[in-house]
């Protein structure tokens, strides 16, 4: 089992570049709700609150994408060149991007010139499980808001980078941290609210979703993701999540995990927030017989009250660390309001958006071993031979029988977001084909210590590839095409109205494929692995594409034998922005 290390960042201060910035207008809640249909900005994580990561822009297309060239590149600088996973935001000619070690920049889109930089002062002893990453920020009014590795939420002034307010999410010494991009959601009672989750499931924390007022960070409501815990509304206890003791034995629900570490999406049509809850704690499933709700689940939340409207559990009694946090993307399926999610457990799920009703589940990776299938009732049909053995039944009581499980605990898909095109009606899923040797061990909860009860080694299952970008038809579950990549895919996907798909690889390549058949049309080497999602927008008649480059994240830390295959990849920290040469763009 991997040893744990404390990651420490030096204390730094906010720094202004002292240069004039472009004129900035406030970002309204209407701007946010309409982000998917506007092309001159990107004001949400996901290019729209529904998370489709689709842009209707067509200037860059199959005929000219091969001519795409860098407009500028900016270094994130310093010695903090690792794990750059953030999606950038763009408004009024300014690009906002977060970086590793809880940093943020504002950049002039035309020149790549830094307008301001904010470096969060991190204490010693932070406990991030999966590198010092940050996945992005949120824009609202005159603020840009992001979370930090010491479990704080920070609001900065968009123009200056100065701190407006800071709120503590929870105690970092207990294993809490925060890495997701916050979500801005409209509320009739409270105005725009900023919705966040928590990281730290490997430390026995209890997952939850929270909403705060954007003006001052005051808490509006809190919703725990593990049954038996009581939420809050307007500073008072509200409703209990589930029924205490219903699917959890003894007191294990008190340290039950279910971290909401990847954030959420919002659907204006149903007025629901969709959030995924992570693995139950500890990993040793023999200690907690039962479904262990609502770990490994997707839940729909009322933005006014924080109450759960529906829940769907993808891996009941999880024994493989198949977090259920992966993004929930709203789309229309033959007239039905639906959502789709590509689970870490290797199955691609389609659910009813309004009620969470199970519609379908099909494999999107090969050789899945933990379950034989997903039944008509939406529950997995487990293969008992592929659950790691109970340590109590071992001769020495210290190590249960080992199994080889597919996918590995890093998942058929992990944090890297997929995209959906309403034109092709396909999802583009950055998947990985790998498995793991896995066994269970005894474990006791201790605050701030790893709470696993498992040992593991990840291994590839194919000689020629691990990563596989897959075009999935949600109506049939059919894999329409597959683009194979030797190293694991750990960056997100973007698709456009010109039927292009953009994504990055750990080898450093930003690629453009034909969305209909997966044919590669363009590639550019950024010098370090890409583990972030690209964006696109239009300014002054030109279409831009931007992506962060900087290898890191969970794969080199947790990847076992797979980590050895990517050990030669260089770390980095560069923000790359591309466009067509001016004459070519005008001749489109």
- Catalytic residue numbers read 321
What is the chain's alpha carbon radius of gyration, rounded to the nearest angstrom?
22
Residue carrying the six token digits 């900065």: 156
Its sign, for the CA torsion 167, 172, 175, 180, is positive
Rounded to 5°, the CA angle 552-408-99 comes to 20
3-state secondary structure of 561: helix
Q: CA 257 to CA 243: how far, in whole Å?
A: 17
Its sign, for the CA torsion 303, 184, 98, 121, is negative
CA 180, 85, 349, 273: dihedral to nearest 10 degrees? 30
Find out whether 124 and 8 touch, Cβ atoms under 8 Å: yes
Residue carrying the six token digits 């971290």: 259
Find out whether 86 and 97 touch, Cβ atoms under 8 Å: yes
Which two three-digit tokens encode residue 391? 């340590």
Q: CA 260 to CA 257: how far, in whole Å?
A: 9
Q: Beta partners for 342? A: 348
Find out whether 313 and 291 touch, Cβ atoms under 8 Å: yes
Q: CA 72 to CA 81: how far, in whole Å?
A: 19
Greatest C-alpha distance within the chain? 74
Residue carrying the six token digits 């201790």: 446
Residue carrying the six token digits 């109506």: 475
DSSP class per residue in 379-417: -EEE-GGGSPPPGGGSSSSS-PPPEEESS-TT-SS-SSP
């Amino acid at each position: 089992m991997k040893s744990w290390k404390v990651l420490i960042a030096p204390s730094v201060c906010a720094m202004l570049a002292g240069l004039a910035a472009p004129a900035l207008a406030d970002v309204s809640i209407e701007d946010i709700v309409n982000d998917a249909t506007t092309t001159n900005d990107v004001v949400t994580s996901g290019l729209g609150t529904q998370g489709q990561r689709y842009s209707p822009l067509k200037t860059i297309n199959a005929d000219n994408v091969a001519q795409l060239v860098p407009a500028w590149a900016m270094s994130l600088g310093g010695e903090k060149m690792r794990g750059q996973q953030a999606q950038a935001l763009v408004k009024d000619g300014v690009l906002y991007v977060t970086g590793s070690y809880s940093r943020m920049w504002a950049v002039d889109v035309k020149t790549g010139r830094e307008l301001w930089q904010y470096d969060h002062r991190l204490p010693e002893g932070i406990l991030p499980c999966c590198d010092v990453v940050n996945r992005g920020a949120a824009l609202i009014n005159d603020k840009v808001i992001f979370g930090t590795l010491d479990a704080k939420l920070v609001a900065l002034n968009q123009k200056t980078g100065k701190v407006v307010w800071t709120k503590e999410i929870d105690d970092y010494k207990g294993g809490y941290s925060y890495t997701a991009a916050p979500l801005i959601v409209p509320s009739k009672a409270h105005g725009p609210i900023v919705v966040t989750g928590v990281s730290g499931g490997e430390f026995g924390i209890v997952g939850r979703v929270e909403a705060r007022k954007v003006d001052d960070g005051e808490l509006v409501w809190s919703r725990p993701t593990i049954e038996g815990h009581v939420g809050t509304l307007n500073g008072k206890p509200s409703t209990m999540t589930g029924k205490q003791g219903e699917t959890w034995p003894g007191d294990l629900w008190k340290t039950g995990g279910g971290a909401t570490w990847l954030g959420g999406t919002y659907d204006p049509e149903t007025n629901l927030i969709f959030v995924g809850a992570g693995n139950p704690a500890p990993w040793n499933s023999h200690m907690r017989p039962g479904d262990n709700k609502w770990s490994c689940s997707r839940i729909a939340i009322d933005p006014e009250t924080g109450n759960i409207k529906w829940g769907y559990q993808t891996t009941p009694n999880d024994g493989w660390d198949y977090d259920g946090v992966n993004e929930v993307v709203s789309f229309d399926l033959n007239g039905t309001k639906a959502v789709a999610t590509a689970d870490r457990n290797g199955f691609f799920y389609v659910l009813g958006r309004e009620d969470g009703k199970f519609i379908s589940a099909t494999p999107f990776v090969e050789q899945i071993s933990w379950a034989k299938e997903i039944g008509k009732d939406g529950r997995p049909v487990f293969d008992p031979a592929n659950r790691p053995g109970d340590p109590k039944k071992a001769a020495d009581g210290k190590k249960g029988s080992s199994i080889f499980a597919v996918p590995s605990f890093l998942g058929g898909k992990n944090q890297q977001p997929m995209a959906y095109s309403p034109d092709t009606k396909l999802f583009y899923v950055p998947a990985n084909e790998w498995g793991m040797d896995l066994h269970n061990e005894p474990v006791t909860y201790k605050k701030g210590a790893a709470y696993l009860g498992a040992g593991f080694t990840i291994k590839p299952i194919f000689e020629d590839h691990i990563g596989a970008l897959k075009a999935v038809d949600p109506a049939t579950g059919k894999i329409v095409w597959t683009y194979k990549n030797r190293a694991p895919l750990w960056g997100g996907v973007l698709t456009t109205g010109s039927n292009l798909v953009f994504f990055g690889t750990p080898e450093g390549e930003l690629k453009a494929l034909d969305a209909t058949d997966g044919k590669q049309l363009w590639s550019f080497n950024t010098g370090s692995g890409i583990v972030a999602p690209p964006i696109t927008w239009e300014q002054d008649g030109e279409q831009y594409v931007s992506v962060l480059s900087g290898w890191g994240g969970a794969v080199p830390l947790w990847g076992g034998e797979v980590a050895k295959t990517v050990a030669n990849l260089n770390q980095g920290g560069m923000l790359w922005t591309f466009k067509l040469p001016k004459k070519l763009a005008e001749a489109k």
